[in-house]
Amino acid sequence: MTNSLKAKMVIDKDFRISDIDPRIYGSFIEHLGRAVYGGIYEPDHPQADQNGFRRDVMELVKELRVPIVRYPGGNMVSAYNWEDGVGPEEQRPRRLELAWRTIETNEFGTNEFVQWAKEVNAEVMMAVNLGTRGIDAARNFIEYCNHPGGTYWSDLRKKHGFEQPHHIKTWCLGNEMDGPWQIGHKTPEEYGRLAVETAKAMRLVDPTIELVACGSSNSSMPTFPEWEAITLEHTYEQVDYISLHTYYGNRENDTANFLAKSLDMDHFIKTVISTCDYIKAKKRSKKTINLSFDEWNVWYHSNEADKKIEPWTIAPPQLEDVYNFEDALLVGCMLITLLKHADRVKIACLAQLVNVIAPIMTENGGRSWRQTIYYPYLHASLFGRGISLQPVISSPVYDSKDFTDVPYLEPAVVYNEEQDELTIFAVNRHLEKSLEVTCDVRSFEGYRIVEHIVLEHDDLKATNTAEVERVKPHTSGKSILNDGLLQASLSKASWNVIRLRKEHR
């Protein structure tokens, strides 16, 4: 029995899917658990700056080059009064936060978040409450954030110390309104009507904004994809994106099936695209709706612990999944799936960024560290900018509990024309054998291998802690390039980043 399998790929610079919108490497911060308090904001921390932002966390976020961060929720936004989080801190009310049954102090709010996003070089993706509120609160909110001055809400922002408008471009019209768990849950008809009227009012205040309508909370919702169709019947001409959310877990401890779950994500994306295009055809519209995959990740490790949380506490540890090596592999496959759909997925948010189902973890008053999933996210964000190419792939396949014909080789290819760089991201899903990949790259004449990064570990359940980083990448990957043929050896169960660059003589 041989210890390796063989696969082939042809990569050509003319086989283009689309330019990649850098915002597919976005993330998410919700007022949930320790994402804000003890995560990005901890005024008493030894590394806090003058705004109370943790410098150590900001450095880890900047390293990731996160282009956009969604805020303030999530489920939390559906009962949130944005006015509670602006103005003098001592006058801000404490509220019962119903989505996660905690106390929200409102010590951190919109202006603080906008300042923090500037510090980490990210745009803000702001959500409005369409659960307990609607048109009026949304139009006031965008006036406060984006209007230059001379009106009640814009002058209030100035009074709060922010002379210049925030110029927030991307706005979400609520969150997961199809979910019965949502405060103010609506039928698709109710949501579609409210969303379109809110969108019209917001655009009157600022015509330059982009808007995201709520899609289904996941593809197993009983109303999927009818929710998308009905919602878009109402909102099609007023919105730019529809959202998708999905989380995966390995509850049965079936790794082969777990690593195939990105195929479900692929199917979800294709179904939403076809639903959008059906409404486009039905309306005889010239406009194309793109996708905002604004919540995606692995989430299941913390489910039991979260059932034991004492209600009505302030920023308790919630949704603090400790990620292992196999989680990093699936996150890699999910990033590859987003790249394969770069023609329609223009925004995506790894949910979330710090402490709450996150690549970055912290101790209150103490250290911060990188979880296993940090690394595929880092590599994709750093090297996945440019044009997504369509490789022609021949790979051995396997069947798992829920999937058939799962390719062992899962690749995405990015061509950065400006830098004359070619990057191949590849996961080998085989748990016991390496994969010998022959790759035809003859259209990239004069290119050489810069590095072959590998994330691998013999223990699929290995995790990182504040003390020990057991799962981290190395650059000793095995690949050679001769006469336009790249030979790469992908070790069993591994995430690989093979970078090529043109030699300028």
- Are both 399 and 306 inside the same structural domain? no
Q: Which structure tokens are listed for 73?
A: 């929720």
Does 401 lie in the same domain as 277?
A: no
Residues 259, 407 within the same domain:
no
Q: b vs e for 16-31, b when ≥16 Cβ sit within 10 Å of the residue's Cβ?
A: ebbebbbbbbbbbbbb
Last residue of a domain, one of 351, 383, 415: 383
- Report pLDDT for 358: 98
pLDDT of residue 504: 78
Instruction: Give me the catalytic one of 176, 326, 421, 456.
Output: 176
Average pLDDT for runs of 10 along the chain of length 505: 86 97 98 98 98 98 98 97 97 97 98 98 98 98 98 98 98 98 98 98 98 97 98 98 98 98 98 98 98 98 94 97 98 98 98 98 98 98 98 98 98 97 98 98 97 98 98 97 97 98 85
Peptide bond into 352 cis (omega under 30): yes
Burial class (CB in 10 A: 0-12, 13-18, 19+), 294: buried
Domain end among 324, 354, 383:
383
pLDDT of residue 1: 45
Cβ atoms of residues 327 and 365 within 8 Å = no
- Say yes or no: 263 and 398 in one domain: no
Domain end (from 383, 405, 440): 383
H runs (alpha helix) in 163-310: 188-205, 226-235, 255-258, 262-283, 303-306
Select which of 30, 83, 123, 295 is catalytic. 295
Question: Which residue matches tokens 């900018």?
Answer: 385
Spatial contact of 192 and 215, defined as CB atoms under 8 Å apart? no
Q: How far apart are CA 303 and CA 10, in angstroms?
A: 42
CATH number at residue 46: 3.20.20.80
Q: Could you tell me if 35 and 463 are in contact, meaning their C-beta atoms sit under 8 angstroms apart?
A: no
Q: Which domain does 398 fall in, by range?
A: 4-13+388-502
Q: Is 176 a catalytic residue?
A: yes
Q: Is 233 a catalytic residue?
A: no
Same domain, 374 and 401: no
Q: State residue 2's pLDDT score.
A: 63
Say which DSSP state 314 is in.
Answer: B
Query: Residue 478: helix, strand or coil by DSSP?
Result: strand
Q: Which residues contact 291 (CB under 8 A, 6 or more apart)?
A: 241, 242, 243, 244, 269, 272, 273, 276, 341, 344, 345, 346, 347
What domain count does the chain have?
Answer: 2
Q: Residue 411 maps to which CATH number?
A: 2.60.40.1180
Q: Cβ(202)–Cβ(137) under 8 Å?
A: no
